[in-house]
């Protein structure tokens, strides 16, 4: 298809808009039709594999108490 044979992207049906009004409409339509940039993936801290790995529990004085303490 040649550029002359393609249908227009925007057509004024009624009224007589000024050049500024057409420019504003074209700017609004072109920014609205753009695809959003892909976002970086968000990883939850709860889903991290390192959270599942626990330090080795060593038997000794107070080890049973230390096993329930937050890390």
Cα 71 to Cα 55: distance, rounded to the nearest angstrom: 9
Does some domain include residue 31? yes
Average pLDDT, consecutive stretches of 10 residues, N- to C-terminus, the chain (71 residues): 74 89 87 74 77 70 72 61
Domain span at residue 16? 1-36
6 within a domain of the structure (yes/no): yes
Asked if residue 14 is part of any domain, the answer here is yes
Q: Does a structural domain hold residue 59?
A: no
Structural domain tally of the chain? 1
C-alpha distances (whole Å) from 50 to each of 27, 59, 66 are 48, 23, 20
Tally: H helices and E strands in the chain: 2, 0
Its pTM stands at 0.39
- The distance from CA 35 to its chain's CA centroid, rounded to whole angstroms, is 11
43 falls within a domain: no
Report DSSP letters for 34-64, one per residue: SPPPPPPPP--GGG-GGGT--PPP--STTHH
């Amino acid at each position: 298809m040649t550029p002359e044979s393609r249908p227009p992207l925007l057509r004024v049906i009624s009224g007589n808009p000024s050049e500024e009004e057409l420019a504003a409409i074209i700017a609004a339509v072109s920014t609205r039709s753009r695809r959003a940039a892909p976002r970086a993936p968000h990883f939850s801290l709860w889903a991290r594999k390192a959270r599942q790995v626990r330090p080795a529990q060593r038997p000794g004085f107070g080890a049973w108490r230390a096993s329930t303490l937050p890390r």
